[in-house]
Each structure stands twice: as structure tokens, then as C-alpha cells.
């Protein structure tokens, strides 16, 4: 006996996952993901320095659009199987003993399972427990409400909606909300309501000093154009600016401020896109262009090695 029969025999409703409930849980979860991605993009419009990373590849975008429906279907079904529907089962069992609205118990157990999964993630993956729990709850509320809605429609009409209709409705809603978010962000940015990030403009005197980064990296920029390196990432000789690995160097060399961007191998906007520091150390490969980022109060130097979409970012901050 499926849950769709609950309206006729509420006291004997079974625990089997009805197809409509499972489709509702999976489809609503999948529909959330493009909207979350659009909202995340909106939040980065006036965010800090993106460090040259991006998704401007036409091939990458084409692949994303091609495989996105299948990926969303898989992620939606997986989330429904491990979170939404187990919470629904626990809600039904609890309702039989304690009474009360089933959808309320469903939301309660969405939170309970979120705590469980977040604890597992914190133990195995180093998650921040509270942040993980809140995020899991956030992704679980709408699917649970979607299940409640489908059950309500089933009780009213006496027939469960087809899975194809559920997925189509969720897809159209997701696309509609995502388009609204993207259009709103684009308009806000073009009209100046949201200001795009602008890197600081620093002089050679302002750049002089000690800069430190991860893995024990130390870069000393002297006022006379002398540079000292300790475990600093550098471009190897005869490198490919997209696929090559970097070298880790130490020693002394020279540096200068490049305001034309001609040494920036990664710039897609041509010379002059960003100011940077060019560091050269004899015997340590080619000159390395450290792009100036951060803010006026907290400037940074960075290099993005490899593919801009998934490269290895190295940052230095003022000591």
C-alpha cells in the first residue's frame, strides 16, 4: 500500500515510498540547485577579487548545459533517497504514535537527519558542523514541502500526479527563477547598483616590503628593485601558461611594477588589464607575474597556475 492511499485509510497507510512522493522530493531538490548557483553568482558581483578564476570557456559551458539535466536528476534522486524520504518515513512512524500533522514531523526529521549527516561530514571530511547542518536543512525544507504538496493534491483529486509532470513543473520554475536572478544581477551591475570589483592601484614604494604566503613562502621586495625569495612559487622555463606545473624557488633576483600587463600570460583582456609585480630570479625559470589584488587596506599578490577554471592559486599577503 502506498502513501497515496493515506487519504482513504490514514490509520493503515504503509511506509512504501510512492512514486509521486519520490519524484516530488527529487525534482524540487534538483530545481533548487540552478537557483542556488544563480544566487551565488549574484553574491560574487561585488565580492572580493576572483583571482582570475572563471568559467568563460565556451566548450566548458556547452558541456555544462549538455550534462546538467542528467546531473541534476542524479543529484535530486540521491538527495531524496538519503535525506527527504528517510525523514518522511520517520515522520510517518512518529505521527502514528504522537499524532499531529505529518508534514510538521517531516520537517522536524529533516533537521534531525541534517544533524546526523553533518556529524558524519565533520568526522570524515572536516566539515564545520553547524554550517553543514544549516546547509543540509536549507536544501531539505523545500523538498519536504514539495512532498506535502503532492500528497495534498493526491488527496484532493484522488489521483497522484505523474512523474513527468512533476519534473517539468520543477524545471520550468527553476529556470524561471534563475533567469530572473541573472537578469536582475546584470541590470544592477550595468546600472551601477552593484559595483564590480576593482583591484587597488599601488606604487612601487607601497609594494616594497615582506610578503608571506602558504607553505612557508616569503617574498621580500626591496626599494631598489632587489627581490629575495624563500619557497616562492615561480613560472618554470619554457612554460605553457595554461597547463604547466610551477616551480618552488629560493634565492635573490629583481622585481619591478608592471602597469601594462605585458608579462601577464593569463590575462584574457589584453595588456593593461591588471597591474602586477614581475619577479625574476636567475636559474629559477621565467619571470613570474604576481597580480596585484585584495584591497587598498589589505593588498595581496597572487599567481594562478594552470587552467583558470581549476588552477592552483598561490597568494601572498603583506607581513
C-alpha to C-alpha distances, 209 to 43, 224, 225, nearest whole angstrom: 33, 11, 11
Please check whether residue 220 lies inside any domain of the structure. Answer: yes
- What's the confidence (pLDDT) of residue 180? 95
Domain boundary among 158, 190, 222: 190
Contact 299, 286 (CB under 8 A): no
138 and 100 part of one domain:
yes
Residue (of 54, 60, 59, 57) closest to 273 by Cα position: 54
149 and 56 part of one domain:
yes
pTM for this one? 0.68
Helix H or strand E segment including 316: strand 312-318
33 and 177 part of one domain:
yes
100 and 27 part of one domain:
yes
- What's the confidence (pLDDT) of residue 304? 82
Q: Distance (Å, rounded) from C-alpha 128 to C-alpha 122?
A: 6
170 and 38 part of one domain:
yes
Q: Distance (Å, rounded) from C-alpha 137 to C-alpha 112?
A: 9
Residue (of 228, 226, 223) closest to 204 by Cα position: 223
- What's the confidence (pLDDT) of residue 238? 63
- What's the confidence (pLDDT) of residue 76? 96
Domain boundary among 163, 190, 217: 190
163 and 40 part of one domain:
yes
Per-residue pLDDT 10s for the chain (319 aa) are 333 343 334 444 567 899 999 999 999 999 999 999 998 888 777 666 667 665 444 555 566 677 889 999 999 999 999 999 999 999 999 999 999 999 999 999 999 999 999 999 999 988 899 999 999 999 999 999 999 999 999 999 999 999 999 999 999 999 999 999 999 988 988 888 887 778 889 999 999 999 999 889 999 999 889 999 998 888 776 655 555 567 888 899 999 998 876 566 555 444 446 889 999 988 887 788 898 988 888 899 998 877 665 667 889 998 8
Q: How many domains does the chain have?
A: 2
C-alpha to C-alpha distances, 26 to 78, 144, 148, 271, nearest whole angstrom: 8, 10, 13, 48
Please check whether residue 45 lies inside any domain of the structure. Answer: yes
Cell of 106: 517531516
Please check whether residue 40 lies inside any domain of the structure. Answer: yes
103 and 78 part of one domain:
yes
DSSP character at residue 318 = E
Task: Show Cβ contacts of residue 265 under 8 Å, excluding neighbours closer than 6 positions.
Answer: 235, 239, 241, 289
The number of C-alpha atoms within 13 Å of 294 and in the hemisphere containing its C-beta is 18
186 and 241 part of one domain:
no
Angle between helix axes 85-98 and 129-157 (nearest 10 degrees) is: 70
Residue (of 196, 223, 101) closest to 152 by Cα position: 101
Complete DSSP assignment for 113-136 = HHHHHHHHHHHHH---HHHHHHHH
C-alpha to C-alpha distances, 316 to 43, 187, 230, 242, 276, nearest whole angstrom: 25, 34, 12, 21, 12
Q: Which domain holds residue 163?
A: 3-190
242 and 151 part of one domain:
no
Please check whether residue 197 lies inside any domain of the structure. Answer: no
Please check whether residue 283 lies inside any domain of the structure. Answer: yes
Cell of 27: 525534482
Please check whether residue 199 lies inside any domain of the structure. Answer: no
Q: What is the CA radius of gyration of the chain?
A: 27
Please check whether residue 196 lies inside any domain of the structure. Answer: no
Please check whether residue 106 lies inside any domain of the structure. Answer: yes
178 and 219 part of one domain:
no
117 and 227 part of one domain:
no
186 and 213 part of one domain:
no
Domain boundary among 161, 190, 219: 190
Amino acid at each position: 500500500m502506498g502513501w497515496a492511499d493515506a487519504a482513504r485509510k490514514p490509520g493503515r497507510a504503509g511506509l512504501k515510498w510512492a512514486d509521486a512522493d519520490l519524484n516530488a522530493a527529487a525534482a524540487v531538490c534538483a530545481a533548487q540547485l540552478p537557483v542556488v548557483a544563480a544566487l551565488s553568482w549574484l553574491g560574487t558581483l561585488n565580492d572580493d577579487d576572483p583571482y582570475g578564476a572563471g568559467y568563460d570557456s565556451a566548450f566548458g559551458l556547452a558541456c555544462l548545459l549538455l550534462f546538467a539535466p542528467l546531473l541534476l536528476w542524479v543529484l535530486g534522486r540521491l538527495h531524496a533517497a538519503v535525506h527527504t524520504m528517510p525523514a518522511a518515513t520517520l515522520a510517518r512512524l512518529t505521527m502514528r504514535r504522537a499524532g499531529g500533522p505529518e508534514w510538521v514531523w517531516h520537517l522536524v526529521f529533516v533537521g534531525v537527519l541534517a544533524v546526523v549527516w553533518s556529524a558524519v561530514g565533520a568526522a570524515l571530511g572536516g566539515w564545520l558542523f553547524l554550517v553543514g547542518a544549516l546547509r543540509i536543512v536549507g536544501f531539505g525544507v523545500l523538498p519536504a514541502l514539495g512532498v506535502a504538496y503532492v500528497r495534498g493534491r493526491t488527496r484532493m483529486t484522488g489521483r497522484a500526479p505523474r512523474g513527468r509532470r512533476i519534473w517539468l513543473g520543477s524545471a520550468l520554475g527553476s529556470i524561471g527563477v534563475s533567469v530572473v536572478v541573472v537578469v536582475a544581477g546584470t541590470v544592477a551591475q550595468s546600472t551601477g547598483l552593484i559595483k564590480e570589483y576593482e583591484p587597488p592601484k599601488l606604487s612601487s614604494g607601497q609594494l616594497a616590503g615582506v610578503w608571506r604566503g602558504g607553505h612557508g613562502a616569503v617574498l621580500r621586495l626591496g626599494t631598489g628593485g632587489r627581490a629575495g625569495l624563500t619557497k616562492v612559487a615561480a613560472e618554470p622555463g619554457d612554460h605553457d601558461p595554461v597547463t604547466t606545473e610551477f616551480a618552488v624557488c629560493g634565492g635573490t633576483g629583481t622585481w619591478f611594477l608592471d602597469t601594462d600587463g605585458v608579462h601577464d600570460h593569463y590575462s584574457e583582456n589584453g595588456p593593461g588589464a591588471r597591474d602586477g609585480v614581475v619577479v625574476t630570479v636567475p636559474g629559477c625559470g621565467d619571470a613570474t607575474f604576481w597580480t596585484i589584488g585584495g584591497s587598498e587596506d589589505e593588498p595581496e599578490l597572487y599567481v594562478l597556475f594552470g587552467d583558470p577554471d581549476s588552477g592552483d592559486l598561490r597568494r601572498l599577503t603583506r607581513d
